[in-house]
With several copies, the nearest count.
Chain A
Amino acid sequence: MPSNPSMSAAIVAAAESDKIGYIEEGTTALNLHIEAIRNVCAEAGISPTEIEGVFATNHANMLAEYLGIHPKYIDTTSVGGCSFQMHVHHALAAINAGVIDIAVVSHGEAGFSARKNQGNGTLRGGGGDPWTPAAQFGGGPYGAWGPPSYYAHALTRHMHQWGSTKEDFANIAVVTREWAGLNPRAVMHSKETNKFGGPITVQDVLDSRMIVWPLNLLDICLVTDHGGAVLLASAEKARSFKTPPVWIAGAGENQSHADMLEMDDFTATSAHASSEAAYRMAGMGPGDMEMAMIYDSFTVTAGITAEMLGLTPRGEGPSLWADGNASPGGKFPVNTNGGGLSFSHSGMYGMMLLIEAYRQLSGTAEDGVHGIEGKQTSAQSAVVNGTGGLLSVTGTLVLTSDV
């Protein structure tokens, strides 16, 4: 007899790798994974041998071997930056089914170091099948060269269809940078952390280098190194750790397309469906949410997603960030770590959404390392949405505090 998995598991700890951001001396994806898992286990006060399920987009069998553990549940779903939200969804189902009690979702990706290591530090990319539809009809032969070159088309269409402006979207980057100012680990925290760091204005975004019209440089995420991991535990075990639980009230995932050729509406993603599933499982709605962690590979990704999550009317996504609403001290905090735009974005960013949501809802977002005064919000519930591919795939979670 199927049962609603809502609240049958909790995130019980979250941690990053030792170093994140532009790691000048270099690193590898595997090292970032291992550091994150070691750190999350230390935080929770358990040994890695207690992990029963391993969820990761890459190195999934290597992780267990490296740690000398023997997981009885392994999931390597890898569909882009939302994979980690989906891992939580899958782990929730496995825990609810009684297959495992403790799982780790881990990420390591050397987006920055891989450039100088000639690809040795990462397993991303690799495709190489010249006969896929996208290879013949979707990409390089027709002038596309990477994610920004595709995503720009969505912003053009949004402005056309809904009368939005570049300024509306640029403001998302501005507000996100405000949060980075409260996160000492954010790459763009300040002039001390990066010469381009510190507060920015809408005009700064518009004046930054044009990469793909209508996307300026500051509409586009960073490309960094980072690792991160979260531990999940069954409801029965969730309070046996040093760290407090944050409950998984709802989870959902969906896919609208793979190549942008098949994106019916360039101003909509499958997040409307994945969030509907997550809200339904939770028995909650957008109006019950007190903060959001929204994948921001580009300002347009975040803006559209706000609409899909039901946080704004259609066509008005960027209004979520307007008038200080989503800023520090605002009514509805969004991307409180500084986001992929200003904190850290390794290529697949979704792990960082989970870590920050955990910290906010567990009251640990402000301890000098995870954030400074003003970063901790009073939110007791969060909607967390990852977006993968070319606005292709989404995973949504509804998380709640242990109250």
Chain B
Amino acid sequence: MADYNKPIPSPDPYVTQPFWDGAKEGKLMLPRCTSCNRVHWYPRILCPHCHSSSIEWFEASGEGFIHTYAVQNRAFGGWADETPYATAYIDLVEGDRMFTALRGVDAENPESIKIGARVKIEFDQADEDTYVPYWRVVD
């Protein structure tokens, strides 16, 4: 944690707190609309699908699939030390999509990374309160 040298998100106390609370315990918490039952990501105060304000949080599987990816050969700050590294948009099993720095891939070899590959979430402790989600290819 003392070594964490990348930008750290600022959890906001109004909307996203359940996600960050879950992250501390290694759980992926997702918001779901109780009116239309659809998951949305990023968290909102109203459902982007049906505009209901009834949102509940639930513990998700933490599994997903690569929707698309890129390899960052150039970067700044703490990320500069890690180039090349892959970033990806992850299709969540429960629905919608999350952005991540991807683990468990050979970023020196961009074509070796497979769209559709299965990934699981993990969390890095970045500071006392903030655990940052990463996704790792597991097959």
A93 adjacent to chain B (CB < 8 Å): no
Q: Check if B51 sits within 8 Å of A47, measured CB to CB.
A: yes
A143 adjacent to chain B (CB < 8 Å): yes
Q: How large is the interface on B (under 10, 10 to 19, 20 to 34, 35 or more residues)?
A: 35 or more
With a cutoff of 8 Å between Cβ atoms, the chain A residues found around residue B14 in the complex are: 26-28, 31, 131
B15 adjacent to chain A (CB < 8 Å): yes
A73 adjacent to chain B (CB < 8 Å): no
Interface of A is mostly: helix
Q: Check if B70 sits within 8 Å of A135, measured CB to CB.
A: no
A266 adjacent to chain B (CB < 8 Å): yes
Q: Check if B100 sits within 8 Å of A142, measured CB to CB.
A: yes
A133 adjacent to chain B (CB < 8 Å): yes
Bound Cα distance A93, B115 (Å): 44
Of the listed residues A31, A49, A213, the one surrounded by the most CB atoms of chain B closer than 10 A to its CB is: A213
With a cutoff of 8 Å between Cβ atoms, the chain A residues found around residue B87 in the complex are: 142-144, 149, 153
Q: Check if A136 sits within 8 Å of B16, measured CB to CB.
A: yes
Residue of A137, A212, A259, A262 near B9 (CB, 8 A) is A137
With a cutoff of 8 Å between Cβ atoms, the chain A residues found around residue B46 in the complex are: 34, 38, 67
How far does the Cβ of A319 sit from chain B's closest Cβ, in whole Å?
22
Q: Check if A153 sits within 8 Å of B6, measured CB to CB.
A: no
Contact with B along A118-152 (1 / 0, CB 8 A): 00100000000011011111111111110011001
Q: Which residue of A lies closest to B116 (CB)?
A: A160
A156 adjacent to chain B (CB < 8 Å): yes
A34-B45, A133-B43, A149-B87 known; A120+B69 contact, CB < 8 A = no
Number of chain A residues close to chain B: CB under 8 A: 52
A143-B72, A213-B110, A214-B110 known; A26+B13 contact, CB < 8 A = yes
Bound Cα distance A210, B111 (Å): 14
A252-280 contacts to B (CB < 8 Å): 259-262, 266
Q: Check if A153 sits within 8 Å of B68, measured CB to CB.
A: yes
How far does the Cβ of B21 sit from chain A's closest Cβ, in whole Å?
14
Q: Check if A160 sits within 8 Å of B115, measured CB to CB.
A: yes
With a cutoff of 8 Å between Cβ atoms, the chain A residues found around residue B41 in the complex are: 137, 261
Bound Cα distance A364, B126 (Å): 51
With a cutoff of 8 Å between Cβ atoms, the chain A residues found around residue B101 in the complex are: 142-143
Q: List 9 A-B contacts (CB under 8 A).
A: A35-B45, A137-B41, A138-B42, A139-B99, A143-B87, A145-B76, A157-B115, A259-B42, A260-B99
Supply 8 further A-B pairs (C-beta < 8 A) apart from A211-B73, A212-B74. A28-B12, A135-B10, A141-B7, A142-B87, A144-B99, A149-B72, A153-B68, A153-B87
- B interface residue numbers (CB < 8 A to A): 6-16, 41-46, 48-49, 51, 53, 67-77, 79, 82, 84-85, 87-89, 97-101, 110, 115, 126, 132
